[in-house]
Amino acid sequence: MVKLNKIYTRTGDKGTTGLGTGARVSKYDKRISAYGTVDEANAVIGLVRLHLSDDDKRVDEILGRIQNDMFDLGADLCVPDRGEKLAYEPLRVSEEQVERLEQEIDTLNADLQPLNSFVLPGGSPASAYLHLARTVSRRAERLMTELAADERETVSDAAMKYINRLSDLLFVAGRYTNNRGVDDVLWAPGANR
């Protein structure tokens, strides 16, 4: 259970922070960068939700679930699996969460026309923010991949799948909120030469 009585603790004043295991690491540690960027993507999704229209209730419900899942992902990354017995069961992203994202991608994508070009961020404020959330989640994925490549570290397969599918969902949702893709702004290669 999370209990926050005091917001500042002064324990990070010298550039360190605590993992869920209690271990202290630098604030620029790869693991901190990874779950900090997951948190950043979650904040952008919060901005998206402020700009959704009444026609986008389905997307809002999906994004509400995703925001909660992203805290699960942050908790997963905050407690590295080092094979040690912990006094509690750490929260881990599940394959079911990944499967739900895949189902939601398929549901939203079913209403869209196939693309003939890349989509530029824009069309509507919600779509532009969805593309911003997509790029931040891709950065989180790159950081998680870098973390997982370190032989002293671990990132679960489900966590890696989740962050990869998330950016796909955000792309499809960006098109969906652009009047089901009708208002997409398409890339015109070499148009301004």
Q: Report the distance separating Cα 158 and Cα 64, nearest Å.
A: 20
Which domains does the chain carry? 22-80+90-108+119-182 (1.20.1200.10)
3-state secondary structure the chain: CCCCCCCCCCCCCCCEEECCCCCEEECCCHHHHHHHHHHHHHHHHHHHHHCCCHHHHHHHHHHHHHHHHHHHHHHHHHCCCCCCCCCCCCCCCCHHHHHHHHHHHHHHHCCCCCCCCCEECCCCHHHHHHHHHHHHHHHHHHHHHHHHHCCCCCCCHHHHHHHHHHHHHHHHHHHHCCCCCCCCEECCCCCCC
Residue 3: the pLDDT is 64
Q: Report the distance separating Cα 157 and Cα 53, nearest Å.
A: 35
Residue 95: the pLDDT is 98
Mean pLDDT by 10 residues, the chain (193 residues): 67 77 85 96 98 94 98 95 85 97 97 92 96 98 97 96 98 96 92 92
Residue with tokens 């995703």: 66
Residue 178: the pLDDT is 94
Residue 2: the pLDDT is 61
Residue 105: the pLDDT is 98
CB 137 within 8 A of CB 167: yes
Residue 4: the pLDDT is 62
Give the global pTM: 0.92
Q: Which amino acid is at 17?
A: T
- CB count within 10 Å of CB 166 equals 27
Tell which residue, 138, 166, 154, 186, has the closest CA to residue 67: 166
- CB count within 10 Å of CB 136 equals 21
